[in-house]
């Protein structure tokens, strides 16, 4: 049964960019231990939602509560200290240091929140050991000493996830981690996301790959044109007429994703 106290509460969030309302009075909760899918057609407001949770974008109205604490007034780095971590679509590791040092740097940054001081931490054995654990948890420990520049996209995505995990988050926000991967790689990375979740990390997953979303998520929240149009058990949500209209009325990619799911 779903526990009653949410880890994250998003309440009445509205975000406007000039005359455009990207998020329109959206509320939803995320419960401890959940793997929640946040889905919707292109431009629905998913990334803006994640950015307003982390504080990259300031909401015009509404509030965000993590583990009972209001985050609205806090800058990004203090939200991270409170337990939020955002894994972004664009994978940008430091190219001239090894995978393990990239992760150790993120772990050090968590401690000091100063890039320079965290660089000094990189050599410390405990952070290396922890960084190796993170690489193990995303399945790329055997590449620990290699440079990012030589790695395929799937490995870079796992590296980005390991860096996010190094912040020791209560809540991990994943923005389209499967984008650009072939179906076998996407399937394997989705399994890794499930493993991370099973080890106790609560996850919000933004993803257009609806087949994988349906396979791994326990609950879905659907946005369309900045509004929340559904929240519930994945199969029920995908059968919701408003959700089907949102996808099928949108671009062909989204429509074909729904059709793929129907044939899965």
Cα–Cα–Cα angle for 210, 11, 249, rounded to 5 degrees: 35
- Euclidean distance between CA atoms 125 and 122, whole angstroms: 8
Where does this chain touch ligand ATP (CB under 6 A) — which range of 37-45, 60-68, 233-241, 243-251?
37-45
Q: Does 17 bind ligand ATP (CB under 6 A)?
A: yes
Q: Does 40 bind ligand ATP (CB under 6 A)?
A: yes
Which CB atom, from 134 or from 190, has the smaller least distance to ligand ATP? 190
Restricted to residues 202-261, the positions that interact with ligand ATP (CB under 6 A) are: none
Q: Does 48 bind ligand ATP (CB under 6 A)?
A: yes
Which CB atom, from 38 or from 135, has the smaller least distance to ligand ATP? 38
CB of 137 vs ligand ATP, minimal distance in Å: 27
Give kind and range of the element (H or E) at residue 29.
strand 20-30
Which CB atom, from 41 or from 139, has the smaller least distance to ligand ATP? 41
Cβ burial of 152 (10 Å; 0-12, 13-18, 19+) is exposed
User: Across the chain, which distance is largest between two alpha carbons, in Å?
Assistant: 55
First-to-last alpha carbon distance for the chain, in angstroms, is 27
Sole binder of ligand ATP in the list 6, 8, 46, 118 (CB under 6 A): 46
Secondary structure of residue 85 in the 3-state scheme? strand
- Euclidean distance between CA atoms 142 and 74, whole angstroms: 38
Which CB atom, from 104 or from 178, has the smaller least distance to ligand ATP? 178
Binding site for ligand ATP (CB under 6 A): 17, 20, 22, 40, 42-48
């Amino acid at each position: 049964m779903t526990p009653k106290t949410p880890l994250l509460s998003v309440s009445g969030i509205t975000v406007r960019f000039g005359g455009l309302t990207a998020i329109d009075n959206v509320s939803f909760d995320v419960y401890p231990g959940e793997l929640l899918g946040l889905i919707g057609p292109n431009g629905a407001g998913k990334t803006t939602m994640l950015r307003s949770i982390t504080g990259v974008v300031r909401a015009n109205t509404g509030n965000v509560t993590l583990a009972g604490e209001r985050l609205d007034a806090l800058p990004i780095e203090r939200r991270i200290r409170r337990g939020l971590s955002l894994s972004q679509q664009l994978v940008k590791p430091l190219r001239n240091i090894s995978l393990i040092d990239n992760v150790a740097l993120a772990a050090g940054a968590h401690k000091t929140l100063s890039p320079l001081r965290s660089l000094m931490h990189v050599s410390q054995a405990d952070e290396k050991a922890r960084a190796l654990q993170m690489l193990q948890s995303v399945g790329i420990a055997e590449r620990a000493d290699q440079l990012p520049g030589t790695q395929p996209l799937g490995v870079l995505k796992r590296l980005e996830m390991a860096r996010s995990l190094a912040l020791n988050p209560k809540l991990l926000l994943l923005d389209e981690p499967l984008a650009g991967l072939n179906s076998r790689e996407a399937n394997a990375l989705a399994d890794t996301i499930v493993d991370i979740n099973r080890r106790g990390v609560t996850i919000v997953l933004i993803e257009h790959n609806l087949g994988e979303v349906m396979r791994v998520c326990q609950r879905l929240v659907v946005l369309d044109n900045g509004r929340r149009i559904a929240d519930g058990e994945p199969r029920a949500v995908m059968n919701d007429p408003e959700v089907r209209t949102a996808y099928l009325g949108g671009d062909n990619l989204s429509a074909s994703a729904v059709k793929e799911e129907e044939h899965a």
